[in-house]
Amino acid sequence: MSPSLPLVTTVERRARLGRRHRLAPSARATRVHEAADAVVALHATDAATVFLSARARLTRVGSAAVEQALYEDVSLVRLLSMRNTLFAVSAELAPYVDASTARGIAAKERRTFLKHLDEDGQGLDTDWLARVETAALDALDRLGPSTGSQLSAAVPALRQKITVGRGKKYETETGVATRVIRLLAADGRIRRDRPRGSWTSSQYRWVHTDPWPAVPAAEARAELARRWLYAYGPATEADLKWWTGWTLTDVRKALAVVGPGQVRLDDGTVALVSPGDIGPEPAPEPWAALLPGLDPSAMGWADRGFHLDPAHRSALFDYAGNVGPTVWWNGEIIGAWAQRPDGEIVWRLLGDPGRAAGEAVTTEAARLSEWIGDARVTPRFRTPLERELVT
């Protein structure tokens, strides 16, 4: 390692996070898609995460504004993409996410489903699947926004059942509707519309839509890598590989196009930043944040040591590596929060970050409580400390 490389300290990395992830009050966005772009993509596996992650990065904007972005303006869209996970990205970025990542996932999903159809032995093949998909799209054109159940009622073929893993221990009979809808969504031919119920519901309606404009895959990967480096740098190629789910070869090709700069970290590690992004980051004002489970600021790196004490990991993550709701102070995770059944927001700090931190967390918890209102939020992935807090 060259000692001449610029040094980016842990304190400075946390300052970058506060400003670039729009978490410091002075850095908050006014529009929903800007909040998403700040972290490249919002996790969307849990319906509530999109709303709560956006909320933390916005000025006083309610859930209706997020719903408008998702379902009316369509300036924010959900895509099955990085790490085969559902994310919400801005409409501007969506073609790049689609070409760099979602296309490959969609092709793999289709191959797997066609293999299951072939193994089932009922003569269901590519032509059959194409007819079913066309019938489902025709039904959406006729019915308008519809749930999976409504589509199945309108298209008899969606009620078809197949046997997966015939003759094996995991043999199971399953309907095709969910898989066909997943394929159509992965291909960008349908998108999630308003759910049945509130903003915390995952029972979506579906609408027919046009696929995203084609972008060369290499160009798309380079654009995604460029944006990720600005939001998450300093970081390593291992971090980018983990975040995207790309092969190491694709990661290195994308970075070669971007031409990142190099810096050294407090521990001597060499890390990557956007080209020319080596200057000091002005520290924002002191800030606290209550972020939901799976929030990008906690999940953006493979190595999160600069903002998370490893001793706290077991309390804040589930067995599969999913982070729960977290409490932040000046770019560091210092605890967890939860919502009790009666609606009360409660939290626990892991250590003593000082009086100023405690007062700021109290203020931010009140802001969160006011924003959530009568809604009830239970993370899809429960973590040890979150479970303790609600009992």
pLDDT in tens, 162-181: 998 887 888 898 999 999 99
Query: Nearest-CA neighbor of 316 among 237, 214, 384?
Result: 384
Supply the pLDDT for residue 297: 98
Supply the pLDDT for residue 31: 96
Q: Which residue has the tokens 């031919």?
A: 189
Instruction: Compute the average pLDDT of residues 66-76.
Output: 97
Instruction: Compute the average pLDDT of residues 268-295.
Output: 94
Q: What are phi and psi of 327, to 5 degrees?
A: -110, 135
Supply the pLDDT for residue 167: 78
> What number of other Cβ atoms are within 10 A of residue 326's Cβ?
27
Residue 220 reports pLDDT greater than 80 = yes
Percent of the chain with pLDDT over 70: 99
**Burial classification of residue 374, based on how many CB atoms lie within 10 Å of its CB (0-12 exposed, 13-18 middle, 19 or more buried):** exposed
Residue 185 reports pLDDT greater than 60 = yes
214 close to 94: Cβ distance less than 8 angstroms: no
295 close to 330: Cβ distance less than 8 angstroms: no
Residue 56: pLDDT band (50, 70, 90) is very high
Instruction: Compute the average pLDDT of residues 285-302.
Output: 97
Q: Which residue has the tokens 């002075």?
A: 26
8-state DSSP, 206: E
Beta-carbon contacts of residue 163 (< 8 Å; ≥ 6 apart): 120, 171, 172, 173, 174
User: What does the block give as tokens for 284?
Assistant: 């924002």
8-state DSSP, 367: H
50's enclosing H/E stretch is helix 47-56
Q: What are phi and psi of 263, to 5 degrees?
A: -135, 165
Q: Which residue has the tokens 């969910």?
A: 178
Residue 40 reports pLDDT greater than 60 = yes
Query: Nearest-CA neighbor of 231 among 363, 93, 125, 25?
Result: 93
Supply the pLDDT for residue 314: 96
Tally DSSP H helices, then E strands, for the chain.
Answer: 16, 13
Read off the pLDDT of residues 83-132 as tens digits, 9 standing for 90 and up.
Answer: 999 999 999 999 999 999 999 999 999 999 999 999 998 999 999 999 99
Read off the pLDDT of residues 350-371 as tens digits, 9 standing for 90 and up.
Answer: 999 999 999 999 999 999 999 9
CA distances from 133 to 86, 115, 382 (A): 21, 17, 35
Chain centre distance of CA 37: 12
Supply the pLDDT for residue 3: 66
Read off the pLDDT of residues 233-244 as tens digits, 9 standing for 90 and up.
Answer: 999 999 999 999
> What number of other Cβ atoms are within 10 A of residue 70's Cβ?
25
Q: What are phi and psi of 317, to 5 degrees?
A: -120, 150
Q: What is the mean pLDDT of the chain?
A: 95
User: What does the block give as tokens for 370?
Assistant: 């006011």
Instruction: State the Cα–Cα distance between residues 337 and 245, nearest whole angstrom.
Output: 29
Which has the higher per-residue pLDDT, 150 or 168?
A: 150
Query: Nearest-CA neighbor of 189 among 210, 215, 213, 212?
Result: 210
Residue 139: pLDDT band (50, 70, 90) is very high
Supply the pLDDT for residue 226: 98
Query: Nearest-CA neighbor of 113 among 64, 63, 40, 175?
Result: 175
Supply the pLDDT for residue 2: 59
Which listed CATH number (1.10.10.60, 1.20.120.720, 1.20.1090.10, 1.10.10.10) goes with 115-208? 1.10.10.10
Q: What pTM does this model have?
A: 0.94
